[in-house]
């Protein structure tokens, strides 16, 4: 099956390691901002990974979410196949564990992506982050889900007004409800569907496709149901971005 990302600008490269700390203005002066979690320690080599976007003029630094701020998530389950709620929750848990990013489930939503798999983001700024939308939908509603593509994922970034650095503020995952309903009936079906959600959330936090059968972020799924070694290296880097 082919799994496609919404985001563009795929590039492969090394990246900075370690957290960068931030400062916040409060009524009591300046205080340090610290990440809400930390990515796990992973091997320095092995596997393949790529990032969706890099900071302008800094090819070794990927665009990331702010690790000092929770990533809120809402799920549109209007068309969700029965029993898939726990699979989505487990996928979010796996991405959170691999990045150290703190995900917060904000419940259900009836919001839907547009025909391109995007959605208008109103009122978004560098400090106001709409929740990530995970939506069960159909190829009739999202054109890119026609054919063998069963999911789309990507995020929107903005530039910080003080530093000019870009960071992600929200994202969208579109899941092909009819195709994934059929996938559930296969051997290991639930695990394969969960892997699709993990793949799309990998795009949301900033991973791009790679040409490597051993990675879940391969553009074509070869039956993997967990992140590969390169996926985990890339996710750890994405979770170690700077506080905004």
* CATH number of the domain to which 49 belongs: 3.40.390.10
CA distance 166 to 156: 10
Query: Do the domain assignments include residue 203?
Result: yes
CA distance 33 to 30: 10
Query: Do the domain assignments include residue 95?
Result: yes
pLDDT tens digits along 52-83: 999 988 888 999 999 999 999 999 999 999 99
Residues 6+ apart with CB under 8 A from 234: 49, 50, 51, 206, 207, 217
- Beta pairing, strands 58-62 & 103-108: unpaired
Total of domains in the chain: 1
Q: Report the mean per-residue pLDDT for the chain.
A: 86
Q: Are 221 and 63 in contact (CB under 8 A)?
A: no
| pLDDT of 20 strictly over 60 | no
Query: Do the domain assignments include residue 16?
Result: yes
CA distance 218 to 228: 10
Which two tokens mark 133? 């939308």
pLDDT tens digits along 112-144: 999 989 887 765 544 568 999 999 999 999 999
Query: Do the domain assignments include residue 244?
Result: no
Of residues 90 and 164, the one with the higher pLDDT is 90
């Amino acid at each position: 099956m082919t799994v496609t990302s919404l985001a563009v600008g795929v590039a492969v490269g090394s990246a900075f390691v370690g957290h960068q700390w931030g400062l916040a203005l409060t009524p009591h002066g300046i205080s340090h901002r610290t990440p809400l979690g930390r990515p796990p320690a992973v091997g320095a080599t092995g596997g393949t990974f790529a990032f969706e976007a890099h900071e302008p003029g800094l090819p070794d630094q990927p665009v990331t979410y702010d690790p000092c701020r929770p990533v809120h998530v809402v799920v549109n389950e209007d068309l969700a196949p029965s029993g898939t709620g726990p699979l989505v929750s487990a996928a979010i848990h796996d991405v959170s564990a691999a990045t150290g990013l703190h995900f917060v489930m904000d419940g259900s939503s009836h919001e839907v992506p547009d025909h391109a798999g995007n959605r208008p983001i109103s009122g978004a700024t560098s400090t106001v982050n709409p929740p990530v939308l995970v939506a069960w939908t159909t190829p009739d509603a999202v054109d890119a889900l026609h054919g063998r593509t069963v999911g789309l994922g990507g995020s929107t970034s903005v530039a910080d007004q003080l530093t000019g650095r870009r960071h992600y503020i929200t994202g969208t995952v579109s899941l092909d409800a009819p195709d994934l309903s059929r996938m559930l009936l296969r051997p290991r079906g639930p695990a394969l569907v969960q892997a699709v959600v993990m793949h799309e959330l990998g795009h949301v936090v900033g991973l791009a496709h790679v040409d490597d059968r051993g990675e879940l972020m391969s553009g074509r799924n070869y039956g993997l149901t967990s992140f590969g070694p390169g996926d985990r290296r890339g996710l750890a880097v994405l979770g170690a971005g700077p506080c905004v």
